[in-house]
């Protein structure tokens, strides 16, 4: 089979090679899948660069969420959604996944949609509901709203009955946020989002801030978070990990809430299937629908990851091997 492999660390386009490798072996407790769709994520870029918290041995195959068809045994033919374990990720024609972690995919759900409904939507659902306790009628500020994590959070915020303010880099991405349902969308490269949030909330600020950018965006979010607001720390796509002065948290009565969705696998695994059931129900009711910005053949994997790392994509980028 063919698989993208990283032999040395660096920018995706420089270090990814599409290679012929042996088919993976199904083992006890594992399902071998034909990959029907693999959705790409910013962490795949960080893995290539060696900047992700997990550092798989070289060579490794990125690809953290796949929708695939079971190839062997009594479940042959079933479609499932799963995160393959590194170093054997899903940017390949076949992959093995732990049977215990494989989630069912409804028959009517296309593979690219299913593949997009795992990491970013689970992160959004857990982040907004479990971690930030977002309530109907509250104001949610979503940064990088046209990206994978951000587009999911806009839809999930609207589905929860929140008023959503989104930021994005440039007028095209602002339009994407509006199409996704954001009530207010701000080009944060051209305009001050702090003033825009204050304007939109009569000075009160955002009750929940969902921040996957970090750096200055996080620092400025502290200036427009509401009394008893919650800032969810989702990621640092901007490259700088910000610091929080504890006195500022005190004088404004807000919380800074950490979110690492992958840790639920170890600490409370039941969260993942229950969140999946909730997400499938929202999809079936038409309340969420992953924005698939590009659906590409496997051969385009390296170029697609390069664009994702360079702010050049909207929504999810999905490879269909
Ligand atoms: N905590 C968790 O459990 C968890 C789970 C999944 C992902 N994440 C994190 O969430 C973040 C977003 O992931 P994603 O897959 O959804 O990516 P993405 O949003 O599709 O892409 C990242 C976006 O961040 C914005 N950005 C701002 N400054 C940037 C910079 N210097 N370089 C690149 N992008 C920049 C860009 O949007 P604009 O052009 O609109 O600014 C870009 O489109 C990543 O940091 C990822 O590691 C965390």
Is residue 104 a contact partner of residue 80, using CB atoms and an 8 Å limit?
A: yes
Return the biggest CA–CA distance within the chain.
61
Residues 6+ apart with CB under 8 A from 158: 164, 181, 287
CB 228 within 8 A of CB 209: no
Name the residue at shortest CA distance from atom 32 of ligand 1.
238
In 10 A of CB 36, how many CB atoms?
19
Nearest CA residue ID for atom 2, ligand 1: 260
Give me 158's structure tokens.
């609207």
- The rounded Å distance from CA 161 to ligand 1 centre is 24
The protein residue with its alpha carbon nearest to ligand 1, atom 43, reads: 311
Q: How far is the CA of 231 from the centre of ligand 1 (A)?
A: 16
- 312 Cα–ligand 1 center, Å: 11
> Crossing angle of helices 301-309/42-49, nearest 10°?
100
How confident is the model at residue 26, as a pLDDT? Answer: 87
Q: Residue 257: which residues within 8 A CB-CB, separation 6 or more?
A: 127, 131, 132, 230, 231, 232, 233
pLDDT tens over the chain, length 321 residues: 999 999 999 999 999 999 999 999 988 999 999 999 999 999 999 999 999 989 999 999 999 999 999 999 999 999 999 999 999 999 999 999 999 999 999 999 999 999 999 999 999 999 999 999 999 999 999 999 999 999 999 999 999 999 999 999 999 999 999 999 999 999 999 999 999 999 999 999 999 999 999 999 999 999 999 999 999 999 999 999 999 999 999 999 999 999 999 999 999 999 999 999 999 999 999 999 999 999 999 999 999 999 999 999 999 999 999
The CA-based dihedral angle spanning residues 227, 150, 269, 36, taken in that order and rounded to the nearest 10 degrees: 170
Q: What is the pLDDT of residue 119?
A: 97
Q: Which atom of ligand 1 is found nearest the CA of 167?
A: 40
Q: From the CA of 18, how far away is ligand 1's center (Å)?
A: 25
CA angle, 256 then 288 then 187, to 5°: 60
Q: How far is CA 280 from the centre of its chain?
A: 16
Between CA 235 and CA 119 the distance in angstroms is 13
Rounded to an integer, what distance in angstroms lies between the CA atom of residue 121 and that of residue 156? 8
Tell whether pTM > 0.95: yes
pLDDT at 240: 97
Q: What is the Å distance from ligand 1's center to 42 Cα? A: 6
- Spatial contact of 261 and 119, defined as CB atoms under 8 Å apart: yes
Choose the residue to mutate in 235, 262, 310 for probing ligand 1, maximizing ligand atoms within 8 Å of C-beta: 235
């Amino acid at each position: 089979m063919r698989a993208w492999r990283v032999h040395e660390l660096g920018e995706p386009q420089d270090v990814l090679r599409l290679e012929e490798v042996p088919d993976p072996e199904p083992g006890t407790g594992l399902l071998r899948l034909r990959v029907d769709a693999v959705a790409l994520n910013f962490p795949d870029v960080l893995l290539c660069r060696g900047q992700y918290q997990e550092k798989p041995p070289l060579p490794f195959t990125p690809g953290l969420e796949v929708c695939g068809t079971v190839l062997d045994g009594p479940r042959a033919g079933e479609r499932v959604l799963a995160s393959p374990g590194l170093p054997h990720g899903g940017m390949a024609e076949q992959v093995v996944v732990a049977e215990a972690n494989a989630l069912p995919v409804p028959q009517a759900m296309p593979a690219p949609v299913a593949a997009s409904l795992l990491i970013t939507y689970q992160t959004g659902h857990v982040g907004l509901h479990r971690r930030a306790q977002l309530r109907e009628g509250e104001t949610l500020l979503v940064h990088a709203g046209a990206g994978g994590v951000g587009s999911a959070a806009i839809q999930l915020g609207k589905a929860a009955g929140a008023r959503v303010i989104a930021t994005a880099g440039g007028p095209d991405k602002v339009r994407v946020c509006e199409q996704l349902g954001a009530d207010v969308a701000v080009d944060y490269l051209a305009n001050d989002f702090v003033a825009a949030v204050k304007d939109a909330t009569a000075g009160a600020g955002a009750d929940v801030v969902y921040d996957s950018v970090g750096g200055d965006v996080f620092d400025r979010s502290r200036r427009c978070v509401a009394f008893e607001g919650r800032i969810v720390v989702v990621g640092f796509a901007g490259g700088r990990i910000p610091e929080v002065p504890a006195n500022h948290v005190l004088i404004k009565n807000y919380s800074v809430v950490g979110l690492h969705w992958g840790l639920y696998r170890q600490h409370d695994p039941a969260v993942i299937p229950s969140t999946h059931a909730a997400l499938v129900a929202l999809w079936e009711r038409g309340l969420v629908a992953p924005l698939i910005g590009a659906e590409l053949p496997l051969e385009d994997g390296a170029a697609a990851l390069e664009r994702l790392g360079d702010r050049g994509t909207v929504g999810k980028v999905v490879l269909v091997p």
